[in-house]
Amino acid sequence: MSEKIANEAEISLLAAQTEVLRKIAPALDTSVFAIGNTCVAAIHYQALYEGMGPVSFAAFREDYDALLERLVQACGRVGLQCDREVEVGGRLFSKPYARVGDGQAWINFYPLDEIPYQTILRFAILKESKKAMTLYKRMEETQSFSGIAEFSKLAKALRRYEGIGSGVRTCLFSRPEGGFAGERTIFQKSMEERNLLPVRFGEISGIKVPLPAKVGNWTTELNDNYDRILSTVQRENLDSMVKLDAACREAGIDYFLVGGSMLGAVRHHGFIPWDDDVDVGMLRSDYKRFVKEIERHIGPEFKIQLPSTDPHIHFVYARLRKANPQYITYYNHDKDFNKGLWIDAFPFDAMPKTGVMAKVQRKLAFNFARASSGFKRRREYAIADLKTDLSKLPAADRAKLKRYRFASRFFPVALCRFGYHASARFFNPIYGRGANARFASFIPSYTTISRSEALPVKMVDYEGARLAIPNGAEAFLTRQYGDFMSLPPIHERYTEHGFKCLILEDGEILEP
């Protein structure tokens, strides 16, 4: 009963939000555009959808004040409120973002401020932003504005990069708990100007709304380019998997598909239609042999990537790279390592039988892996940042980048990597024997499997090929995903690796 009422209430709210959007749409010119879940609504549903949260638009900071004036005038004509200031102690203070609505439903309008191109500086200013908005949220919730002076100081400091010409924008004044739909990485929270303007128009419930030139910060837009990229990636990955299967059988190595690859095998008899990578798992004994021997049994176009074979990569597990095509992301585009398509290989290690020790092992392994990857990424960012044009940065920032690069030499990357492997492998000699022994993969997500569920593997149809999955795959998938046969909502049917472009062997570049 309560679920029905909640759904009815949400449907009523969506209808109210749609009506506010209809009234305010004439004031939305080509200087403003949808962001976050509003892009999701326009691209995938052409309507507002359940669970989407607030409707949101944004404009560059230099266009924002003019936008607010148009909104105030438009609200006066159609009987809406434009909530953009708050009165404190008899004085009016500008809010960090504006809202337009009727008391029941609201649409948010955000300014997009310029931030540096350099990744380390982006991390720093987004951390400052979170601090400022946490303070603002506390004042808003408590209706106590004792922190307004501190917030005003922080807000002024956040805008210090105006006019720097970096070509990168962000929403510095969004909610501290997360930002917008789809934004998981530093690069999704950092919007390239060339991807935002010029605007184009889409529809939400028949209402014409401005959209950014590209919506890749928040969702994947299905089009001919995307279809060609995905079909190319899946074709190449299938070829890699067929060769890996043959090489593993020749070497006597037991592997099995895991994660989305196993889910695709069971639910789709091949790739999940929107998936663009391949994951395999192995018990640690097979994983050790895989790392040492697979290159001898597979074609010369494949290379194992590990910290021991490539000092520039950041992950702690093995990645089997194919030379071509090159999969370019916002993270790797300026890094010096092989960027070919890959197969991730994850080791499964024995777990202790007691719950307390299992939790300790899980926490240690996960945190060591995360720390090793994070430290390594930050070091690579620091190296890449100093290769960019620093001439427009303040002297303090240039000095900061140089200090950070120097300090990054002392990041305990190798120590954390050792900690991951030590904690993951610790119980193998004790609990790793017998059909009932349980194993876990600690990265990228914690998943457990018994030896009898894992082995012997079973061969299943996969896009016309025969590949291996655990014989207890359904139980494994249920633990990992719950109802794994149900499809996710339309707007979640994509994978995200911070994809930028695909460079084919002949040099052709495919962009989404």
Name the residue ranges covered by the structural domains of the chain: 13-211, 224-349+447-510, 352-426
- Given a cut of 60, is residue 391 above it in pLDDT? yes
* pLDDT value at 6 more than 90: no
Neighbours of 249 (CB within 10 A): 13
Helix axis angle for 395-408 and 355-385, nearest 10°, is 130
Spatial CA neighbour of 350 closest among 473, 450, 446, 262: 450
Identify the pLDDT of residue 142. 82
Confidence of residue 311 (pLDDT cuts 50, 70, 90): confident
Please write the tens of the pLDDT for every residue from 70-82: 999 999 999 999 9
Lowest mean per-residue pLDDT among 95-104, 136-145, 380-389: 136-145
Q: Is the pLDDT of residue 3 over 60?
A: no
Which amino acid type is present at position 370?
R
Q: Which helix (H) or strand (E) holds 358?
A: helix 355-385
According to the model, what pLDDT value does residue 434 have?
Answer: 83
Question: Which has the closest alpha carbon to 342: 296, 289, 280, 256?
Answer: 280
Whether residue 7 has pLDDT greater than 90: no
Query: Does residue 22 surpass a pLDDT of 80?
Result: yes
Structure tokens at 376: 């390594």
The reported pLDDT for the residue numbered 90 is: 66
Answer whether 341's CB lies under 8 Å from 319's CB. no
The whole-chain average pLDDT of the chain stands at: 92
For residue 265, pLDDT over 80 is answered with: yes
214-239 pLDDT tens trace: 999 999 888 888 899 999 999 999 99
pLDDT at 362 over 80: yes
Report the CATH fold assignment for 224-349+447-510.
Beta Polymerase; domain 2 (3.30.460)
- 5-14, 393-402, 457-466, range with the lowest pLDDT: 5-14
Secondary structure E strands in 310-382: 318-329, 340-350
State the pLDDT at residue 36.
94
Residue 185 burial class via C-beta count within 10 angstroms: exposed 0-12, middle 13-18, buried 19 and up:
middle
What value does the mean pLDDT take over residues 1-18?
73
Is the confidence at residue 61, as pLDDT, over 90?
yes
Amino acid at 253: I
Q: Is the pLDDT of residue 4 over 80?
A: no
Q: How far is CA 228 from CA 105, 213, 276, 329, 464, in A?
A: 40, 20, 12, 17, 20
- The 10 Å CB-count burial string (b at 16+, else e) for 146-181 is eebeebeebbeebeebeebebebbbbbbbbbeebbb
Vertex 29 angle, CA 25 and 35, to 5°: 75
- What six digits make up the tokens of 121? 């500086």
β pairing state of 340-350 and 278-283: parallel
| Closest of 199, 216, 204 to residue 63, by C-alpha | 199
Given a contact cutoff of 8 angstroms between Cβ atoms, the answer to whether 234 and 271 are in contact is yes
Average pLDDT of 389-415?
96
Ramachandran class of 135: left when φ > 0, alpha when ψ lies in -120 to 50, beta otherwise: alpha
- Residue bearing the bigger pLDDT, 390 or 177: 390
